[in-house]
Amino acid sequence: MTSTPESVDDRLLTAHDLARAALLEITPAATVGEPAGYTLEEGGVVSLRFYNRLAGYPNWFWTVSVAVVEDAEPTVLEVELLPGEGALLAPDWVPWAERLADYQAAQAALAEAEGGDVEGEDDDLDDDDDELDGEDDLDDLDAADFDDDGSPILHSGDVDGVDIDELDDSGDESEPDDDED
């Protein structure tokens, strides 16, 4: 988008020196390339783009948003690194409980396809190992053991897996009566 609407201050379209100075406050000069165009934003804001020279970010652009506030000189609003067309992006986040449920379903399907049973065939071989490292508790986990955000559901009296009743030294002491005169 490089068309100029009537309300854009021409000084913003040529504020490359101001934008480059703002970029140099957050990144070395070697990571900032030549100007790569601009985008017109709402409210008279212009986002100036510069080619990025960081090795791990192909097709990303340094972007500096500039504006004129109350008839003053152009000023920098925001500096960021944004993906361009064909940039490598992280996949959408999936909660751990869903990933675990998918993994368990895949393992069950694999075991069924091999004619085996998910927990049956080598249970007697794993019994000794389970006692040593507590894996038997992990085998029983499924998506129902976790909240919607993927955090484990703790049982009553547990804080981060610690039984708080076990730490309470005052459990044997009697409570003071509220009926005292």
pLDDT tens figures, 99-142: 999 999 999 999 999 886 555 445 444 455 444 455 555 556 66
Per-residue pLDDT tens for 148-166?
A: 666 665 655 555 666 666 6
- Of 22-36, 109-123, 162-176, which has the strongest mean pLDDT? 22-36
Mean pLDDT, range 57-65, rounded to an integer: 94
Q: Domain 10-83, what architecture?
A: Roll (3.10)
Find the Cα–Cα–Cα–Cα dihedral 100, 101, 105, 106, rounded to 10°.
-30
Report the C-alpha gap between 89 and 86 in whole angstroms.
Answer: 9
Residue among 26, 11, 125 nearest 72 (CA) = 11
Domain boundaries of the chain, sorted by first residue: 10-83, 96-161
Residue among 55, 64, 58 nearest 16 (CA) = 64
Count of C-beta atoms within a 10 Å radius of residue 55 = 7
Per-residue pLDDT tens for 45-54?
A: 999 999 999 9
Helix (H, G, I), strand (E, B) or coil at 32: strand
Task: Dump the DSSP string for 123-167.
Answer: HHHHHHHHHHH-HHHHHT--GGGB-TTSPBPPPTTEETTEEHHHH
How would you classify the pairing of strands 60-68 and 46-52? antiparallel
Q: In this predicted structure, what is the pLDDT of residue 121?
A: 46
